[in-house]
Structure 1
């Protein structure tokens, strides 16, 4: 545990100030820019609606935060063989600490617009939607974005390692080869998702969120009724397993690059 804490502390010390500045900048932008936009352009909409749009854009962009953060941490130390070769920690701890820290960055990146949106909703008493509706559907959106960001990070790490393994042989063309491999793999995966096998084995255990929430949402005194919203237990389990396996394979291949 001490070794793990030490690895996390090292990443925090290195990235502390850029992260704090980015967080502060994000809070300022999402808190004050909507008011400036509404006043300067004389928009005939409630300022909360502008806040909502900006916060959702920020949250959507945060899907790339973990993978970008992981790339930054890996690129920073890939040129220092001693970090990997002489460390007593396993490759899973070394890379896992970076991935965990990158995930925390992504989580905080999603938490900031969520808190700003909640505060703005309370301060400006928006009638656009009730707080319960906003919280329920906003939570689903945030959880989905975070889950997708973790999947992106795992896939990104895998193909980053592939690129690094090919670079000594292909030099600058390794990135082209990696992109081609990625496109081919994406095509094969899309075919698998559309297959009957995927439907029979993966799309099982449907969960309809609308059964635990009134599908009618009051938006500016207009009722919008959502249709069935299904999540599949089998698909969730498959995505978790797929993400984990991709990360393990990438870590093993990466160890061959930096330690063997």
Structure 2
């Protein structure tokens, strides 16, 4: 995984530790406090703790405009004669994505999460309502008709950390030496290698890379949220 690769390059990985707060002195970061172990000293701290990031930052820096939106995932057993499934499928009009899950199942969910479906930031639902599973299957069936016979195999829902424009905040905030990577809105894992490279450059040089300019934390207060080149179709628009 990413942690193992980082360790090969010389990073120290601390597993099973809980960071309780960010330590500062005279307007500068001095490290993080670890439960039961005290201060881990550092002049620079990057908080990339997902849904826990706003709570850690607000004690020493700004309020981050993050809301917690329910992301729902269903597992469907494909018909035995379905054939080879696509490695990945995105349907902007049908508002679904899917990928194989093991040799027989398909993992599917909604691409554009409903901002009205909020939940507590640490909540995990280990089941989905049957109506939600049927809706996801119906949407997939419009692209893959054989999925009409797919059998539900469970599902779950967790909270995405969503920014006002659904793009991440990658910036230096608050006291000198504090950086955040938050608000990935469901896209964090696939973006993480490039985000890591750009944030490492930012931290090491103290100069924001040009590619991160539009992802600055201040864009919302400036009235400059990101406007996507390919927005999701308006609700109610029919499949092409």
Structure with greater contact order relative to length (CA < 8 Å, sep ≥ 6)? 1
Q: TM-score, normalised by structure 2?
A: 0.23
Structure possessing the higher radius of gyration over alpha carbons: 1
Structure with bigger strand share is: 2
Structure that is richer in helix per residue: 1
**What TM-score, normalized by structure 1, do the two folds share?**
0.22
